[in-house]
């Protein structure tokens, strides 16, 4: 079972590495880290990742994982990336996203009339791609599976493991990873429970960082 995890400059590392650490433990998993060209890819910080394959080398994966990050905006304007997502989706068992990665699925035309989620800062924008926006951590819509911000990629990957290999396998992987989160600040990771002033600050900062509407897809 070939699993392709898309990389691009400006990716959030955990968006890719979280699902990687889960999915690599699936029986028969052949995980490929793919980018426009094989080689080093910059994350949104000092950490660098290495793409094992170019997009051209991985055309028909069984599973696609599209992470997010600030670089997703630029990747969403790269027709080569969008064409690869569309082409791969024709053959996948599941096409998935983490965080802002759902924006890339939308830009590729895969979310029209599809229930989907993403990072809370970009959920409203998914509607511009015709998505039915859902305020949930993981959303399964047929062959498309989307997840919320960053850490939700681990939840998505465990759910995906259950879909493709059964709950016993997924539970074993969860135990191997000792994935039993106990965040130190209850409610702080959800805008519904977080400090309202902080939520507003982050929304304002995100709005200021967006490029002009005329340059966006």
Domains and CATH numbers, the chain: 2-181 (3.40.50.880), 184-217 (no CATH)
For 108, residues 6+ apart whose C-beta sits below 8 A from its C-beta are 82, 85, 86, 89
Name which of 73, 63, 129 is nearest 97 in CA terms.
63
Place of tokens 């911000």: 149
Q: What is the dihedral of CA 162, 153, 17, 199, to 10 degrees?
A: -170
Instruction: Supply 14's token pair.
Output: 């955990």
- Look up 174 and say whether it is catalytic: no
First to last CA, the chain: 33
Residue 61 sits at φ, ψ, to 5 deg, of: -70, 155
Instruction: Give the pLDDT means over successive 10-residue stretches in the chain (217 positions).
Output: 98 98 98 98 97 97 97 94 98 97 97 97 91 97 97 98 98 98 90 90 86 47
Bridge partners, residue 53, by sequence = 34
pTM: 0.93
Helix, strand, coil share (%) of the chain residues, nearest 5: 40, 20, 40
Q: Which of 13, 72, 98, 99 is catalytic?
A: 99
pLDDT value of position 212: 57
DSSP letter string, 186-213:
TTTTSTTTS-HHHHHHHHHHHHHHSPPG
At 187 the pLDDT is 87
pLDDT of residue 215: 38
Read off φ and ψ for residue 66, nearest 5 degrees.
-110, 105
């Amino acid at each position: 079972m070939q699993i392709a995890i898309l990389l691009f400059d400006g990716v959030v590392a955990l968006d890719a590495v979280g699902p990687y650490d889960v999915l690599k433990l699936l029986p028969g998993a052949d995980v490929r880290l793919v980018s426009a060209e094989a080689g080093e890819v910059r994350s949104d910080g000092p950490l660098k990742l290495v793409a094992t394959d170019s997009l051209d080398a991985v055309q028909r994966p069984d599973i696609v994982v599209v992470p997010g990050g600030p670089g997703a905006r630029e990747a969403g304007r790269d027709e080569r990336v969008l064409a690869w997502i569309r082409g791969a989706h024709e053959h996948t068992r599941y096409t998935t996203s983490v965080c802002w990665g759902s924006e890339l699925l939308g830009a590729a035309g895969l979310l029209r009339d599809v229930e989907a989620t993403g990072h809370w800062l970009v959920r409203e924008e998914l509607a511009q791609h015709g998505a039915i926006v859902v305020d949930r951590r993981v959303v399964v819509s047929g062959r498309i599976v989307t997840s919320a911000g960053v850490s939700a990629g681990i939840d998505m990957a465990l759910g995906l493991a259950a879909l493709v290999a059964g709950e016993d396998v997924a539970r074993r992987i969860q135990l191997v990873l000792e994935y039993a989160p106990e965040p130190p600040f209850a409610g702080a990771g959800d805008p519904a429970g977080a400090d309202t002033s902080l939520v507003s600050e982050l929304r304002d900062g995100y709005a200021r960082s967006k490029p002009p509407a005329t340059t966006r897809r």
